[in-house]
Structure formats: C-alpha cells, structure tokens
Amino acid sequence: MTASAETSTQPAADSGPRQMDTARVAELYRQLLTELGEDPGRDGLLGTPARVAAWWSEFLDYDPGATAAVFEYEPSGGSHLVVVGGITVWSLCEHHLLPMRLTVTIGYCPRDQVLGLSKFARIAHAHAHRLQLQERFTDGVAEDVITAAGSGDVGVVAEGEHLCMSMRGVREQQARTTSTSLAGRLHDEPGLASQLLTLARSPR
C-alpha cells in the first residue's frame, strides 16, 4: 500500500446516485408538504421546498478536498501512536433520515510517513456527507486512513448522538453510541487500543 494511493472520496465523473435534480426534489417536497396536511402556498412555506432541495444538494455534494497529503516521519524507536481527536461531523442516519452528530478520534502508528493532521477531518467529513450508519462510518474512515497514511495500524472511535434516539423512540436525551474500528496493532495490542479509547473519552 503506498501513500500516494487515492482515498475514496467520490470522483465527480461517475457519481450516479449523487446527481440530484434540485428542481425535481423541490417539487417532491412541495407534494410531501401537501400530504402532511400543509399548504405549500402559504407565506412561511413558499420558499421551503427549494430551500430544502438546495440543502440536500449541498449536503451530498460536499467536497472535503484532498485527503492524502503525507509528511515524512522519522521513527525514534518504540511504539508510537499519533492521535487526532475532537473532530465533529454531522451526518444523516439512513434508517430515519435524521441527523447524527459524530465526535471522532483517530489514532494510528506511523510507518515511514505522517499524515497531515487536517486530512483526518477531511476523511471524516467525506464519510459523513451521505446517508450513513455509525458503524459503517467508523469502518470507512479507518479504511481511508489506512490507505492515506500507508499504515495498517489504525483505530477510529466515534461517539454518536442520534436525533432518532433523542427526539423519537426511547427519547433518551443523553444517549451516546460509541463505535470503534481497530486494525493491525490497534487491534492486536490491547494497550494501544485502550490508550486510544482513553484519549477519545477524555474531556476536551
């Protein structure tokens, strides 16, 4: 695996499901409002379908920028864990189409290069701007960090707050869902994994 490998941000060319007809989506929202017993012609709702359609377009077409800039790293011996925490992204739960806020902590053991720190956030954003499941988000971020950093020793911890849990269903205001994706030494060495989890849970 080389550091120059492309990460999995969506290429513009073959973005089939990503191509959105904004006018059509606005029309569907107009119909939905009617079905919900509203009058889409009243003042407060007049611009709503177009506004919501524009929001969907912005959400799905979000461009997180390049994710694979790599810096050289000179190992000084011993195990070395680089942790980037406090990355907050918003995504949409694919089961309920309601927002989830994910706080992400990423750790990895650099081999011969170090990934630029801002790139971690970009990888997280790239996976957040689509309909998601928290577990798939966590695994996807881990896979991209493995590719971009050229190291198989990667751990990702995501703490999620799901509106589908806090405003419907169990209405559990404080519910937090933690998901982890551990690979290589982060998977095999409990010491490294617990170091990552401790850092992920420490207050910032």
Write out the residues near Zn ion by the rule CB under 5 A: 93, 95-96, 164
Closest distance to Zn ion from the beta carbon of 167 (Å): 10
Please give the Cα distance from 126 to 129 (Å, whole number): 6
Between 166 and 195, name the residue whose CB sits nearer to Zn ion: 166
Bridge partners (DSSP) of residue 156 are: 106, 181
Residue nearer to Zn ion on the CB measure, 45 or 164:
164
- In the complex, the smallest distance separating the C-beta of residue 139 from Zn ion, rounded to whole angstroms, is 18
Place of tokens 């407060």: 44
> Shortest approach of Zn ion to residue 130 CB, angstroms?
14
Instruction: Give min distance, CB of 95 to Zn ion, in A.
Output: 4
Cβ nearer to Zn ion, comparing 103 with 151:
103
Judged by beta carbon, residue 71 or residue 90, the one nearer Zn ion is 90
- 122 and 63 in contact (C-beta within 8 Å)? no
Q: Spell out the SS3 assignment of 80-105.
A: CCEEEEEEEEEEEECCCCEEEEEEEE
Instruction: Tell me if residue 44 falls in helix, strand or coil.
Output: helix
